[in-house]
């Protein structure tokens, strides 16, 4: 049984990675329905939380059916991160997660996200203060290092565990690699097999199929996997992985009707949470992903992204079933 603090997560939990502009409550809702064991909010700026910025505060919205859920924060100032931890804790999540992995320039070049990998003592000091600032279990998501020459993740894992984190998710790339090349899980496996490490180690990077999840589980011995980009338009991946690991067999991919049904649910959750206008506009980035690989979907997408009428969107999605469903 894998546990983060006292939270029991089953034998091989699947985690939804926090993704900016993706893992909001509507997207998390459909991932939860399809087997995600632990989810995280989009990353939240510590400075934004302290200043009471509307966008940052809105990201604190969590719902009972999402549990266990972590709120993920990022920042480069220890005092701000402490205050943000206290604010985030009042939203009553199950976990506080620290983002030490975001490679995006505007974050990393200010010393936040993966930027802190250039200052390991500060990373450890900040983590220690965050652990002291909350009664909740604290977890960390990070990368192997800043670049090829600074892969200090084995030392980092021990030091972060020593200051009290309850789990560590490691993306198998350096900051310099961004999302290019192949994720290297060998160091993740070494950390998992380090006799000093007793907290759960979750691997992240390139898990895009049930076969790969099982292969990496068996090869590297991780306690679970965190999945990011492969979930976009594909929340089914969680249950597909679970089924494959327990039976060795693959589930049939979702039918067109199932894709439409989940896309509609995602859309309706968005309307409820964001209101009509934002709910409609922000759903537009998801249509192509839900219907990836379907030839001639382009015309439908054009219509879906051109209307502000909720009923029209639902009827266009119904047309997709009529015209593409397997006869």
Active site annotation includes 102: yes
Q: How far apart are CA 55 and CA 45, in angstroms?
A: 10
Buried b (16+ CB within 10 A) or exposed e, 140-166: bbbbbbbeeeebbbeebbebbbebebb
Can you read off the two tokens belonging to residue 31?
């991932």
Q: How far apart are CA 201 and CA 241, in angstroms?
A: 18
Residue among 31, 102, 109, 263 flagged as catalytic: 102
Residue (of 132, 98, 138, 97) closest to 114 by Cα position: 98
CB count in 10 Å sphere of residue 262: 19
Task: Identify the H or E element spanning 265.
Answer: helix 256-274
**Residues recognised as catalytic:** 102
């Amino acid at each position: 049984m894998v546990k983060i603090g006292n939270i029991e997560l089953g034998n091989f939990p699947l985690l939804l990675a926090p993704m900016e502009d993706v893992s909001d409550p509507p997207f998390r809702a459909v991932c939860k329905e399809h087997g995600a064991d632990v989810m995280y909010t989009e990353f939240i700026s510590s400075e934004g939380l302290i200043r009471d910025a509307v966008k940052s505060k809105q990201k604190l919205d969590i719902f009972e059916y999402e549990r266990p859920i972590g709120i993920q924060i990022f920042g480069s100032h220890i005092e701000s991160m402490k205050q943000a931890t206290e604010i985030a804790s009042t939203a009553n999540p199950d976990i506080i997660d620290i983002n030490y992995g975001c490679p995006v320039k505007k974050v990393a070049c200010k010393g936040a996200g993966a930027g802190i990998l250039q200052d390991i003592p500060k990373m450890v000091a900040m983590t220690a203060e965050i652990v002291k600032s909350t009664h909740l279990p604290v977890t960390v998501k990070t990368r192997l290092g800043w670049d090829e020459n600074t892969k200090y993740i084995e030392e980092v894992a021990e030091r972060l565990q020593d200051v009290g984190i309850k789990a560590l998710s490691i993306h198998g790339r350096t900051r310099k690699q961004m999302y290019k090349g192949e994720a290297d899980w060998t160091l993740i496996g070494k950390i998992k097999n380090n006799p000093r490490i007793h907290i759960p180690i979750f691997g992240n990077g390139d898990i895009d199929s049930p076969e790969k999840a099982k292969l990496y589980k068996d090869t590297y011995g991780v306690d679970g996997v965190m999945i990011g980009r492969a979930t976009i338009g594909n929340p089914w991946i969680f249950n597909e992985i679970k089924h494959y690991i327990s039976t060795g067999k693959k589930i049939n991919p979702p039918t067109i009707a199932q894709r439409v049904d989940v896309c509609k649910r995602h859309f309706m959750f968005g309307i409820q949470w964001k209101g009509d206008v934002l709910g409609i506009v922000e759903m537009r980035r998801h249509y192509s992903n839900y219907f990836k690989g379907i030839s001639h979907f382009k015309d439908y997408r054009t219509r879906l992204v051109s209307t502000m009428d909720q009923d029209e969107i639902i009827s266009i999605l119904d047309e997709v079933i009529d015209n593409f469903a397997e006869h």
